[in-house]
Chains A and B, each alone.
Chain A
Amino acid sequence: MDYDYDRKYLASFTLRRDGSSRFGQNNQWGNFPAASVGWRISDEDFFKFAAMNQLKFRASWGQNGNQEINTRATSSIFQSRYATQSLFTNEQDEGTAYDLTGSDQGNLPSGFAKVSSGNPDLKWETSTQLNLGVDFDFFDSALYGSFDWFKKRTEDILTTTQPLATEGEGAQMIVNGGTIENTGIELMLGYTDEFTLASLGNFTFDITGNISTAKNKVVALPDSVVNSFGGNGQDKTILGKSVNSVFGYVTDGLFQSAEEVAAHASQPGAAPGRIRYVDLNNDGVINEQDQDFFTNTDPDFIYGLNFTLNYGRWDFNMFWQGVKGGSVRNSWRLFTDFTSLNIGSNYGDRTLNAWTPDNSGSNVPALTLLDNNNEARESSFYWEDGSYLKLRNLSIAYNIDPNILDARVYLSAQNLLTITPSGTLSQDPEAPNSVFPIPRTLTLGMSMTF
C-alpha cells in the first residue's frame, strides 16, 4: 500500500503472510511486514537554505523469510536407498545394497536407511532490516549525493546440526539456530560542472564517488549449532565474530636458527627454515589447541570512483573500484612455495628463492622432500591482505555527426590496472585461486543505428 501526499510525504506499507509445508505444524505461517517513509524536507515552507535544492530523509523497515531447506525436515523417515556416490574424501557410499548372495555382479538386495530426525518446531528464518538514509542536492544539482545506514538482523538461521556419533545415522536435524547482524553505511557523492577552455570550447564533467562499509557479527549461537561454524565447540566459538571468520593456526615467520627452535615451544618438525607456529595458549607445546579465529574475509570498506568528461562529440570515462582490508586465501602457495607437498608435480619458481642460511630474508620455507612440520595445515601462512584498487574501465568515444552517419566509435579497456599493497603474493586478490586470471580486455568498436 502506497501513500503519497503532495509529493512531500511518502509512505508505503506491505504485509506478506507466507506458509510453507517445509516447517513444523506449529510454525508453518510467517508474517512479514514492511514499511517505509520518506520526507522531502526541502519542500517544506520552513526550509530556507537556498543552496540546498533537495533534501529528503528516508527510513524503511521490513521483514522477509527464508525457507530454503529440504522438504522433509519435519519428519523422522526412512528412505529406500540403493547406493550413493563415493567421491574422494568427503562423500562415501551411504547406501543399503549388499551382495548377500556373493554373485559379484548384478542387482543387489538393498534396504532402508534413516534419513533425518524430525523437528516439529522448525520455523521460518527471519531477516529484519532497518534502513535510514538521506538524499541531498546542492547548488542547482551540481553537488549531489546520498548517505545510508542499515542494520540487518537474521534470526533463527536454518542450520543442520552435527550430532554426536553415538546417536547414529539420521540423527542430524535442521534447527533454527543462530542470529547474525550486519550493520553498515554507504556514502555517495557526486559533482557535475562545466568549464570552457578559450581555444577549445566547452567541457562538461561529472565525478561520482562511493564508499561503503559493513560489519558482520554472530550475536546468538545456541548450543545445538555451536559446532556448525568452526572453532572448538568449547571456549573458541564464532559468537561475537563475523560469520566469515577463519579458524586455524597462526604463523610467525620462519625459524632462523637452531637457537630460535630451542627457544620456541615444542613443535614437532621444527628446524631452521621451517614455518614457526605461535603458541597461542602459552603451554609450551604446539598442538591443536593453538588454533583460533585469526582473520575474516570481510573488507574494511569498498569504494569506487567514476569520472566522465564530455567535449563536443567526444566523451571520456574512467571507473576505479577498490577494496580495502579483508583477507583472502592464496591456496596456490601450496604449489609455488613447497617441494614437499606435491612431489612429482611441477614446482613454482618461488622455490628458487627458498630460505637458506645465506638467504634468510626469504618468506619461502627451506626446501625439503619431507614435510615433517605439517606445513599444509590451515594457518595464517596462506592468508593475506585482500586489498586492491583496479582501473575497471577506461574508455574514449567519438559520436559521429548524425547528418553523416548515426554512429559512435569507441576504444575501451577493462581491468587495465590492478594495484595491490607491496606484500601481496597472489596475482589478483579479487580471485586469488582461479586457474585463469581475470582478463584485461581492450575493445575497439563502433555502434550504429539505422
Chain B
Amino acid sequence: MYNKLKTAVVMLTCSALMTIAGCGGDLEQSPQGTLTEEQITSGGNLEGLVTATYSYLGNDHYTAPNFLWPTGNLRAGDAHKGGNGPGDIFAYHALSMYTSIIADMESYPPDFVDLNNKKWVRNYTAISRANTALKALADVTEAEFARKTIREAELKFLRAFFYFDLKIHHKHIPYVDETMSSEQIKALTNFDLTDQQLWDKIAADFQFAADNLPVSQSEIGRANQLSAKAYLAKTRLYQAYEQNDLHQVVNIDLQKLQTVVDLVDEIEDAGVYGLLDDFGQNFLHRFENSKESVFAIQRSRNDGSPDGRGSWPTALNAPLQGGFGCCGFHVPTENFVNAFKTDAQGLPQFDSFNTSNYVLAQDAVDPRLDHTVAMEGKPFKYDTELMIDDGNAWARAPAVYGNFISMKELEHPDCECRMQNGPFPVFSMNTVLIRFADVLLWKAEALIELNRLDEALQIINRLRSRAMNSTAMLNNASIYNIGLYTEFTSQQQARQALRMERRLELGLEGHRFFDLVRWGVAKQTLDAYLEVERSRKPYLQEALFTAGRDEYLPIPQQQINLSGGLYKQLPGY
C-alpha cells in the first residue's frame, strides 16, 4: 500500500509542475474595427461625431417619436389613438384617458416596455452624443479644424432641441452638459434648476447657434442661423408664459415676447423662408425642403440601412385600404373636423362648431380641412381615382374610434418615396419640425399679448389668404368658404382667433397639447371637449383631465429608481 501511495504523490507533483510550466503568456488583445477615446478626436472623426448627433433626429420610431402626434394630439382632443382597440399600445390609450398615465407604464401591453421611459432615455442618448462631440471639439483648435465653431454651434442647436422635447413633456429635468464627469452626472436631480433656469439653458444653446451659424448651409439638413433663431424664438415664447408649481400661468413676460417678435422679424428680413402657394404642398414629397420648411428631419430611402430611414413615427398611421392595409392609428376626432366649419363670413364658428357634426353636403368648410383629414365621400390625397366610398372599410376599429384619416403625414400609396416594411409603410418624406407658418403665428401670438392687434390680424389674414388659394388640388370635394378677419375688437377676441388659427393651420402636426398648456387653458378646453366627445366615443367614458398633474408626463419611475431616489416625481403622480 505504501508503494501505491508513493506513486500517487509522485504523479500529483508531476502534474502540478507541468501546469505551472505551461501557463503565462500575453492575453492582451486590442479590439478590432473600433476607435478609442484618443483616436476619436482627429479631424475626420470629429465630423463623424457631429453626424452621429444629427442621426438621432431620424432614429425615432412610433414608440419614441420626434414627430409628436401621440403626446401632442391625443391629449389635446384632436385625434384618437386608433388601432384595434385600447390594448393596442395601451400607453397611448392612457394619453387619451389621462387617468391611466402612471409613473411606471412597463405593465402596459402589448409590448411591456414603458414608452415614457424609452423616449426619455432616447432623448438623453441624443444629448450624450452632442456632449461627447462637444467635449472632443473642445480639445482641438480652429487651426486644426476649420469648422470648429460652426460645428459647435450645430451641436448646441441639436442638444437644445432634445432638451426642448424633454422640457415640454416633463417640465423638471436633469441638465447634463459636456463638462460633467460620470460622478457629477449621477449626483444630478431634476429639480437642481428651476423651470425658468432650464428654459434659459436651452435658450443659451440656441443663442450660441444663432450667433455662430451661417445664414444658410451647403448641406440643407444642417441647422443654420435662421433655424436657430426660430428655435430661440420658440423657446422664449414658451418661457414667457410663467407657471407656478401647479402649472398654472401666473404671469406673461412681455419683454420675452418682444424678443420673439424681433427674432421673427430678423428671420423674415433674411428673405430665405416664406409661405408656399398651396397649403397642401407642405405635405407632399416632391416639395420637401421647400421655402416653408425652416427645419426638418431629413428622411431617406434606399440608403443602405436595414429598414430604411423613413418616417417610422407614423408607420402605424396608414388606413386599411387605398393600397395600404395597416394599422389605422391617429384618427382625427369629430371635434377637430367640426372646427373647420365656417360661418357665412367664412370665419370659424367659435361657439357653435361642435354642437352638430360636419355634413359634407351641407356645411361650408375651411379648405385646409381637405388637406388635413381624409374621409368618406372624398378622394384620398387628391386622387379622384382613389375615392373613399365606404369610410368604415378604410378604418381599423370604426365602432371605437370612427373613420377619419390624418393625411398630412401620409403620401399617396404610389409615391416613389414609399417603403413597405412588413405591414408598415414608411415614407422618405421629411418630417417638418418648424414650418414658416408656425413661425409667423408665434409672432402673431406675441403681438396680441403686446396689444398690437392690427399687426397680428395681418399675419392671421395672410395665412387665411393662402388657405383661400389652396383649392386647386382639391377637386371641389367640399363646399369651401373661408374669409378674412376685418378687425380684432379686443385682446380676448384676438386670442381666440389666434388659438383657433393655430389649430386649423397646424392641425395634427403635434403642437396642440403643448399650445394649450402654454396658454394655461388645457383643463377648460379638454373638459369641454370630453363632455361632448364622451357621448360620441364611449371609450372616453372615464377620461378625466386633472389640472395640476396632467399638463406634464411623469418622470419615469425606472429613472427615479436608477437615480437611487434623487429624482423627485412631479405633483399629482
Q: Please report A residues at the B interface, Cβ cutoff 8 Å.
A: 1, 3, 5, 13, 15, 17, 19-21, 25, 28-29, 71-72, 75-80, 82-90, 92-115, 162-171, 227, 232-234, 248-249, 268-269, 287-288, 291, 340-344, 369-372, 374-378
Contact = CB atoms under 8 A, between A and B. Distances in A.
B271 interface: no
Contact of B298 (A92, A102, A165): A102
A343 B400 contact: yes
Contacts of B108: 374, 377
Contacts of A3: 8, 11
A248 B33 contact: no
Interface in B260-291: 288-289
B221 interface: yes
Contact of A233 (B40, B100, B417, B561): B561
Interface residues of B, number: 113
A1 B301 contact: no
Contacts of B28: 21, 25
A78 to B, nearest CB: 5
Contact of A166 (B51, B60, B174, B430): B174
Given A3-B8, A95-B55, A77 B34 contact: yes
Contact of B397 (A85, A90, A171, A344): A344
A99 B52 contact: no
A78 B306 CA distance: 21
Interface in B537-564: 538-539, 541-542, 557-559, 561-563
A370 B86 contact: yes
A115 B52 CA distance: 13
A90 B54 CA distance: 22
B231 to A, nearest CB: 18
Nearest to A107: B304
A164 B542 CA distance: 35
Chain B CB within 10 Å, residue with most, of A85, A114, A164: A164
B572 interface: no
B104 A288 contact: yes
A82 B219 CA distance: 19
26 contacts: A29-B23, A82-B304, A83-B306, A85-B307, A86-B312, A86-B421, A87-B307, A92-B59, A94-B59, A97-B303, A97-B304, A99-B58, A99-B221, A104-B428, A105-B302, A105-B428, A106-B300, A110-B51, A166-B185, A168-B128, A233-B561, A341-B85, A343-B397, A370-B400, A372-B542, A375-B87
Nearest to B89: A89
Contacts of B100: 268, 374
B539 to A, nearest CB: 5
Contact of B306 (A72, A77, A85, A248): A85
Contacts of B99: 268
Given A92-B63, A376-B90, A376-B109, A108 B561 contact: no
A112 B15 contact: no
A105 B542 contact: no
B84 interface: yes
B61 interface: yes
Contact of B29 (A71, A77, A371): A71
B35 interface: yes
A96 B11 CA distance: 60
B120 interface: yes
Given A98-B221, A102-B221, A287-B102, A19 B300 contact: no
A110 B117 CA distance: 27
A74 to B, nearest CB: 9
B359 interface: no
B309 interface: yes
Contacts of A96: 48, 51-52, 55
A373 B558 CA distance: 23
Contacts of B121: 165
B131 A78 contact: no
Nearest to B219: A100
Contacts of A109: 47, 51
A19 B23 contact: yes
Contacts of B417: 104
A328 to B, nearest CB: 18
A17 B23 CA distance: 8
A99 B84 contact: no
B1 A5 contact: yes
Contacts of B237: none
Tell which of B188, B300, B428 has the most Cβ of chain A within 10 Å: B300
B129 interface: yes
A354 B484 CA distance: 58
Given A100-B221, A101-B221, A164-B186, 15 more contacts: A80-B33, A86-B61, A86-B306, A98-B55, A112-B48, A166-B176, A168-B127, A168-B185, A268-B97, A288-B104, A370-B86, A374-B100, A374-B107, A375-B87, A376-B87
A106 B302 CA distance: 6
Contacts of A374: 87, 90, 100, 107-109
A344 B307 contact: no
Given A110-B48, A168-B127, A72 B59 contact: no
B29 A83 contact: no
Q: Considering the complex of A and B, which 8 residue pairs feature the smallest CB-CB distances, nearest first?
A: A168-B128, A111-B48, A83-B305, A233-B561, A376-B109, A96-B52, A111-B52, A99-B298
